[in-house]
């Protein structure tokens, strides 16, 4: 694994490990309820009702980084789940089925009080229903209607004019579902929902994302990126999972300060930076070293992924007179802006221009279909903007079939052609 | 004069979208679009399911993760052939259809293609008070969109007439199913898929008449013999897999599939007080609560039909083709359920003659 250049990265890793250890202690020793949820769920509701959450995607990334995905997924396949099924969203289920706490990251997941998922695709209800049954917990789904009003430059509306961006009937529907979810969480936690507490938390989320926006701007304007992409990802996501909390806001501020200090001092993540790369798609969690593999030979530095960039554009909601409705507006459209046309292609090209991107690597997920859609439009739009694109066929968490050396050679060839064209 | 069986089978095979000035055609992409509403608006609703061996137009925009059926529909909709359609209604009862809608909107926005007007019908299938209430509102919205498209109001009388027309066709299908499912089936599965599937491509009044004639023709046949199977898996928009299974000596008497045994379901009931005056709510309920889709939740509801039907057959064949990424999640659970009831079963990803024959051999020897 590449060195950590930022102190913030060290703090983020420590926080996550300690947070999870505390969670296990709270659950096992004090019987405190917690939830396993999809990453696109409104985590704020769980926070205000004091129900900690473990994100399915975070756990899957952890399992993958520990090189446990092949054995867990082989186990799932051996049970009769064929190998064409989604892996990113089911790896954590596979880890539960494997049921080996000695091998699992950090002792494994304790039994949650509930599981919850936004029905973003057709399979997630199945994965979570199976998982809930396996764990002996309940499953709460949030269904999602489709959008039919699609203003392309959504990020110009999402903060202040979210009620215009998203159709009122979609927001109303999601708000009604969130009320039902609140009822379930109140029953589990014994706490009462307070709208004011949600407003305060969402204001905290806004502050946190504003810090991330400053970091994003620093990356855009600094002559060379002061922070590597994989450190952006780890710092941002450590905060996003507990977003709006005191720790998350403070961490975002420290991260901003550290990146700002580096930028002002002219410290580059890669002093030999010649090419600025964009990674489109979820992280390649089983081989994050890929993100620094082209710095030395080509001066090619990954400067952009959705994880930092989406924070300010996707999460911030101003105008919190009705915080639940504001939260519903984010929940109903979450994920669509990253994978569906026109939102994904328009936003990614805008981001590429702002970040002075020279070339883009676009993940074509092998085993997570909803994440694979929208790619052709994204690739076309990038190429039309003069940005060369290399599609990367790989799974985010499953290293089976992944040939890291061959992929590095392929990316190297691509970068040589990019360097030829810019020189 | 061709037989009713021939006419229905030919209609199923041709999948024509022939249009007339009196009844412009509106395409629909699956079973969860309320046929009665489109019909009452003065349109001829036709299911889009073109048979394509390649999809060069769609391949420009769609990733490999889309199923062949969705790619085929998209390819058709951005081709010149689709210009005859007044609109296409796409239900939000599968994620791939939702994406199909977005892709159509995008190629239009970018001025790349000129498909017919896409309309999203935001029907949700996770059962809850919220989705039911939301779905009814969206059905009212669809009615308003169709009224705008046709330039005329949809009157309750027109809805009632369409409901009666649709129900007559449903009744004929249920009669046809009886002829498949009894102890002495007189129609093969592959043939039944065509006889039932024709109703998606024609006037349902005409369908009901022809289906009844077909029933009379079938009645005169000798019963088929062989192990009676149920197919569970990917929707079969063509009968090839069923035909491959039957070529080995089995009879497919049912499939958990909106192309076959689950095409009709129950009638749209206008009996409850008030529904005769405005049947819209009854129409919505039919498509909300009695129409299969991959997004029906919870599994206990989605599996109800299968669990009942599996006890009436000699064996179950699961069909999970290579592009499946949904139903494979159900397979181990359903397999376990069949094991508990001692119902023989097998799973295929493709139609290979030898393993099918082996399974039938096992059935034959108990």
| B-chain residues near A82 (CB < 8 A) | 320, 324, 328, 331, 349
Q: Determine, yes or no, domain membership for B105.
A: yes
Intra-chain end-to-end CA distance of chain A, in Å:
31
| A-chain residues near B106 (CB < 8 A) | 341-342, 345, 377
Q: What is the mean pLDDT of chain A?
A: 95
Q: Find tokens 């498949």 and name the residue.
A: B180
Among candidate residues B228, B284, B295, the one with its CA nearest the CA of residue B35: B284
Kindly report the pTM of this predicted structure.
0.97
CB contact under 8 A, A122 and B95: yes
The burial class, CB within 10 Å (0-12 / 13-18 / 19+), for B40 is buried
CB contact under 8 A, B62 and A126: no
CB contact under 8 A, A150 and B105: yes
Q: What is the ipTM of this complex?
A: 0.96
Q: Find tokens 């909601």 and name the residue.
A: A317
- For chain B, say whether A281 makes contact (Cβ under 8 Å): no
| β-strand pairing of A275-280 with A138-142 | unpaired
| Residues within 8 A of A (CB atoms), B 153-212 only | none
Q: What is the mean pLDDT of residues B12-37?
A: 90
Give the model's confidence band at A367: pLDDT under 50 very low, under 70 low, under 90 confident, else very high: confident
pLDDT of residue B21: 65
pLDDT tens by residue, A59-77: 999 999 999 999 999 999 9
Edge-to-edge strand order for the sheet containing A35-37? A53-55, A35-37, A114-118, A138-142
Say how far apart CA B264 and CA A109 lie, in whole Å.
Answer: 45
Residue to substitute from B55, B78, B98, interface A, most A β-carbons within 10 A: B98
**Are A263 and A24 within 8 A, CB to CB?**
no
Considering only CA atoms, give the Rg of chain B: 20
Give the Cα-Cα-Cα angle A353, A355, A359 (nearest 5 degrees).
75
Q: Is the peptide bond before B298 cis (omega within 30 degrees of 0)?
A: yes
Q: Determine, yes or no, domain membership for B142.
A: yes
Q: Determine, yes or no, domain membership for B145.
A: yes
Instruction: Enumerate residues 6+ apart whose C-beta is below 8 A from A221.
Output: A263
Say how far apart CA A397 and CA A73 lie, in whole Å.
Answer: 10
CB contact under 8 A, A122 and B294: yes
| A-chain residues near B122 (CB < 8 A) | 145-146, 148
pLDDT of residue B273: 57
| Residues within 8 A of A (CB atoms), B 309-348 only | 320, 322-326, 328-333, 335, 347
pLDDT of residue B278: 77
Instruction: Enumerate residues 6+ apart whose C-beta is below 8 A from A82.
Output: B320, B324, B328, B331, B349
CB contact under 8 A, A169 and B106: no
- For chain B, say whether A340 makes contact (Cβ under 8 Å): yes
pLDDT tens by residue, A12-59: 999 999 999 999 899 888 889 999 999 999 999 999 999 999 999 999
Q: Residue B27: enclosing H or E segment and its boundaries?
A: strand B25-28
Q: What is the mean pLDDT of residues A302-319?
A: 98
Among candidate residues B1, B12, B6, B71, the one with its CA nearest the CA of residue B217: B6
| A-chain residues near B329 (CB < 8 A) | 81, 85, 123, 126-127, 130
Q: Determine, yes or no, domain membership for B101.
A: yes
Among candidate residues A149, A157, A147, A119, the one with its CA nearest the CA of residue A316: A157
A-B CB pairs within 8 A amount to: 126
Say how far apart CA A277 and CA A298 lie, in whole Å.
Answer: 11
Q: Determine, yes or no, domain membership for B14.
A: yes
SS3 B270: coil
* Torsion (CA) B176, B178, B179, B185 in degrees, nearest 10: 140
The burial class, CB within 10 Å (0-12 / 13-18 / 19+), for A212 is buried
| A-chain residues near B294 (CB < 8 A) | 122
Greatest alpha-carbon pair distance for chain B in Å reads 63
Q: Determine, yes or no, domain membership for B88.
A: yes
Considering only CA atoms, give the Rg of chain A: 21
pLDDT of residue B160: 93
Q: Sign (positive/negative) of CA torsion B254, B50, B1, B44?
A: positive
Say how far apart CA B36 and CA B54 lie, in whole Å.
Answer: 33
CATH number of domain containing B90: 3.40.50.11890
Q: Is the confidence at residue B64, as pLDDT, over 80?
A: yes
Say how far apart CA A218 and CA A262 lie, in whole Å.
Answer: 10
- For chain B, say whether A372 makes contact (Cβ under 8 Å): yes
pLDDT tens by residue, B140-166: 999 999 999 999 999 999 999 999 999
Give DSSP secondary structure letters for B315-365: EEEEE--TT-SSGGGTHHHHHHHHHHTT--EEEESS--HHHHHHHHHHHHT
Closest CA in chain B for residue A339: B99
CB contact under 8 A, B331 and A119: no
Rounded percentage of chain B residues whose pLDDT exceeds 90: 89
Beta-carbon count within 10 A of A265 CB: 9
> How far off is chain B from A383, nearest CA to CA, in Å?
14
SS3 A283: coil
Give the model's confidence band at A1: pLDDT under 50 very low, under 70 low, under 90 confident, else very high: low
Q: Which of A81, A141, A147 sits opposite B297 (nearest CB)?
A: A141
| A-chain residues near B337 (CB < 8 A) | none
| B-chain residues near A373 (CB < 8 A) | 63, 65-66, 99
Beta-carbon count within 10 A of A82 CB: 18
Give DSSP secondary structure letters for B47-101: E-----S--HHHHTT--TTS-HHHHHHHHHHTSGGGGG-SEEEEESSSHHHHHHH
Say how far apart CA B64 and CA A366 lie, in whole Å.
Answer: 10
Say how far apart CA A127 and CA A91 lie, in whole Å.
Answer: 10
Q: Is the confidence at residue B94, as pLDDT, over 80?
A: yes
CB contact under 8 A, A152 and B109: yes
- For chain B, say whether A141 makes contact (Cβ under 8 Å): yes
Classify residue A155 by its DSSP letter.
G
Give the Cα-Cα-Cα angle B338, B342, B347 (nearest 5 degrees).
45
pLDDT of residue B351: 85
Count of domains forming chain B: 1
As beta bridge partners, residue B26 has B45, B87
CB contact under 8 A, B92 and A84: no
Q: Which of A123, A364, A375 sits opposite B325 (nearest CB)?
A: A123
Length of chain A equals 423
For the ranges A145-154, A244-253, B271-280, the lowest mean pLDDT is seen at B271-280
**Are B260 and B254 within 8 A, CB to CB?**
yes
Range of the domain at B131: 4-154
Q: Is the peptide bond before B243 cis (omega within 30 degrees of 0)?
A: no
- For chain B, say whether A183 makes contact (Cβ under 8 Å): no
Q: Determine, yes or no, domain membership for B182.
A: no
Q: Is the confidence at residue B31, as pLDDT, over 80?
A: yes
pLDDT of residue A384: 98
| B-chain residues near A122 (CB < 8 A) | 94-96, 294-295, 325-326
> How far off is chain B from A273, nearest CA to CA, in Å?
33
CB contact under 8 A, A85 and B124: no
Say how far apart CA A363 and CA A411 lie, in whole Å.
Answer: 12
Q: Determine, yes or no, domain membership for B31.
A: yes
Closest CA in chain A for residue B133: A173
Length of chain B equals 366
């Amino acid at each position: 694994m590449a060195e950590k250049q930022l102190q913030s990265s060290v703090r983020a890793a420590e926080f996550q490990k300690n947070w999870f250890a505390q969670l296990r202690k709270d659950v096992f020793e004090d019987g405190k309820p917690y939830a396993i949820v999809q990453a696109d769920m409104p985590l704020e509701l769980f926070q205000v009702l004091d129900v900690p959450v473990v994100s399915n995607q975070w756990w899957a990334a952890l399992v993958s980084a520990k090189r446990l995905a092949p054995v867990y997924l082989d186990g799932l396949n051996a049970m009769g789940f064929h190998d064409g099924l989604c892996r990113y969203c089911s790896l954590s289920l596979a880890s539960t089925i494997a049921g080996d706490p000695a091998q699992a990251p950090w002792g494994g997941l304790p039994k949650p009080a509930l599981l919850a998922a936004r029905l973003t695709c057709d399979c997630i209800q199945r994965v979570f229903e199976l998982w809930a049954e396996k764990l002996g917990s309940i499953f709460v789904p949030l269904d999602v209607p489709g959008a039919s009003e699609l203003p392309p430059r959504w990020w110009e509306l999402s903060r202040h004019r979210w009620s215009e961006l998203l159709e009122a009937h979609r927001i109303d529907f999601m708000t009604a579902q969130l009320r039902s979810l609140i009822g379930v969480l109140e029953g589990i936690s014994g706490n009462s929902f307070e709208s004011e507490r949600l407003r305060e938390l969402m204001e905290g989320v806004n502050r946190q994302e504003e810090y991330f926006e400053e970091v994003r701007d620093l990356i855009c304007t600094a002559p060379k990126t002061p922070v590597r992409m994989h450190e952006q990802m780890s710092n941002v996501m450590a905060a996003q999972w507990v977003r709006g909390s005191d720790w998350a806001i403070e961490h975002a501020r420290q991260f901003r300060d550290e990146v700002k200090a580096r930028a002002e001092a002219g410290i580059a993540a890669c002093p030999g930076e010649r090419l600025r790369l964009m990674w489109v798609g979820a992280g390649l969690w089983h081989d994050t070293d890929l993100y620094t593999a082209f710095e030395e030979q080509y001066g090619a530095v990954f400067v952009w992924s959705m994880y930092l960039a989406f924070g300010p554009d996707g999460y911030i909601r101003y105008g919190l007179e009705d915080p639940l409705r504001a939260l519903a507006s984010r929940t109903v459209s979450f994920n669509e802006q990253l994978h569906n046309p026109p939102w994904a292609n328009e936003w990614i090209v805008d981001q590429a221009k702002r970040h002075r991107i020279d070339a883009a690597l676009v993940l074509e997920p092998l085993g997570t279909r909803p994440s694979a859609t929208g790619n052709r439009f994204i690739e076309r739009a990038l190429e039309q903007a003069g940005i060369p694109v290399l599609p990367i066929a790989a799974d985010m968490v499953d290293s089976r079939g992944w040939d890291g050396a061959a992929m590095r050679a392929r990316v190297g060839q691509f970068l040589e052609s990019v360097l030829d064209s810019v020189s | 004069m061709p037989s009713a069986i021939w006419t229905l089978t030919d209609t199923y095979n041709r999948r024509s979208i022939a249009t007339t000035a009196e009844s412009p055609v509106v395409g629909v992409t699956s079973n969860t679009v309320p046929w009665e509403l489109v019909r009452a608006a003065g349109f001829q609703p036709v299911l889009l399911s073109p048979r394509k061996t390649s999809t060069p137009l769609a391949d420009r925009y769609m990733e490999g993760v889309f199923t062949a059926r969705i790619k085929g529909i998209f390819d058709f909709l951005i081709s010149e052939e689709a210009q005859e359609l007044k609109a296409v209604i796409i239900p939000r009862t599968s994620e791939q259809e939702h994406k199909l809608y977005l892709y159509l909107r995008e190629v239009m926005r970018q001025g790349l293609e000129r498909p017919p007007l896409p309309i999203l019908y935001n029907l949700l299938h996770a059962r809850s008070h919220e989705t039911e209430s939301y779905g009814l509102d969206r059905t009212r919205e669809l009615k308003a969109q169709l009224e705008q498209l046709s330039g005329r109001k949809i009157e309750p009388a027109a809805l009632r007439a369409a409901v009666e027309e649709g129900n007559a066709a449903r009744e004929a299908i249920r009669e046809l199913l009886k002829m498949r499912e009894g102890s002495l089936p007189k129609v093969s599965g592959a043939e039944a898929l065509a006889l039932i599937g024709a109703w998606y491509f024609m006037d349902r009044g005409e369908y009901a008449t022809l289906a009844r004639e077909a029933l009379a023709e079938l009645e005169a046949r000798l019963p088929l013999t062989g192990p009676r199977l149920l197919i569970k898996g990917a929707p079969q928009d063509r009968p090839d897999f069923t035909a491959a299974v039957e070529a080995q000596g089995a009879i497919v008497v049912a499939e958990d599939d909106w192309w076959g045994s689950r095409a009709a379901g129950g009638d749209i009931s206008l009996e409850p007080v008030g529904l005769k005056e405005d049947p819209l709510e009854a129409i919505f309920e039919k498509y909300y609560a009695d129409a299969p889709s991959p997004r029906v939740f919870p599994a206990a509801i989605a599996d109800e039909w299968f669990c009942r039907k599996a006890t009436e057959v000699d064996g179950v064949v699961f069909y999970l083709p290579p592009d499946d990424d949904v139903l494979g999640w159900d397979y181990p659970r359903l397999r376990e359920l069949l094991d508990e009831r001692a119902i023989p079963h097998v799973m295929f990803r493709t139609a290979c003659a030898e393993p099918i024959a082996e399974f039938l051999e096992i059935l034959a020897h108990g």
